[in-house]
Amino acid sequence: MKHCLFDELDFSEDTFDLTRYILTSEIRLDLLLNLYDTSKVLDEIKSELNKKPENILRSLNELIDRKLVVKSDKKYFLSSTGHLLAMNIIKLFDNWNSIDNHFDFWQKHSINSFTSKFIKKIHIWENAELMESDTIEFDKTLRVFLKICMNPDKSI
């Protein structure tokens, strides 16, 4: 029987509390991404996010309580955990876009042999070009493949 990752995945014991807390709140997510790789004073944040100032301040304090944001000398920046969290969330969005860009392709092909690593790095295919054979160029994909194999250092 062929190995299928999806048969084995078990997330049933995992709690979703913090994930929901972050991902289902537009303003908290906006703040995390807005502060990624930078520090800002409150006025800068207010001017960049299209949200009510009182909501921004309340959400910032919530994120500070959750140890994801730090305030120092009137500047806000991500904590170490906030930084890693933002990196991981950005990757999710990149993966989502990649999956969506090639929705029809994925739907028409088996994904049962995909590894978890491939699925988690699927964003690398976001800008991939789909090459398909047709009735006129029946062997197109094979020809391109062989050309690349024979000239690995040259781009086509």
Which positions touch another protein (CB under 8 A)? 5-7, 9, 11-12, 14-16, 18-20, 22-24, 26, 29, 33, 37, 66-68, 77-81, 83-85, 87-93, 95-97, 99-101, 103, 106-107, 109, 111, 114, 116-117, 119-122
Nearest approach, Cβ of residue 97 and another protein (Å): 5
Could you tell me which residues come within 8 angstroms of residue 92 by beta carbon, excluding any fewer than 6 positions away? Answer: none
Nearest approach, Cβ of residue 156 and another protein (Å): 25
- Of 120, 92, 114, 83, which Cα lies nearest the Cα of 8? 114
Which one, 84 or 146, has the nearer CB to another protein?
Answer: 84
Which one, 67 or 140, has the nearer CB to another protein?
Answer: 67
Which one, 46 or 83, has the nearer CB to another protein?
Answer: 83
Do 22 and 85 meet the contact criterion of CB atoms below 8 Å apart?
yes
Nearest approach, Cβ of residue 24 and another protein (Å): 4
CA angle 143, 144, 145 (to 5 degrees): 90
- Write the DSSP assignment of 91-111 as a string of letters: HHHHHHHHHHHTHHHHHHS--
Which one, 84 or 128, has the nearer CB to another protein?
Answer: 84
Do 86 and 36 meet the contact criterion of CB atoms below 8 Å apart?
yes
Nearest approach, Cβ of residue 138 and another protein (Å): 26
- Single-letter amino acid code for the residue at 16: F
Nearest approach, Cβ of residue 80 and another protein (Å): 4
List C-alpha distances in Å: 119 to 92, 108, 110, 129.
11, 17, 13, 18
Which one, 46 or 106, has the nearer CB to another protein?
Answer: 106
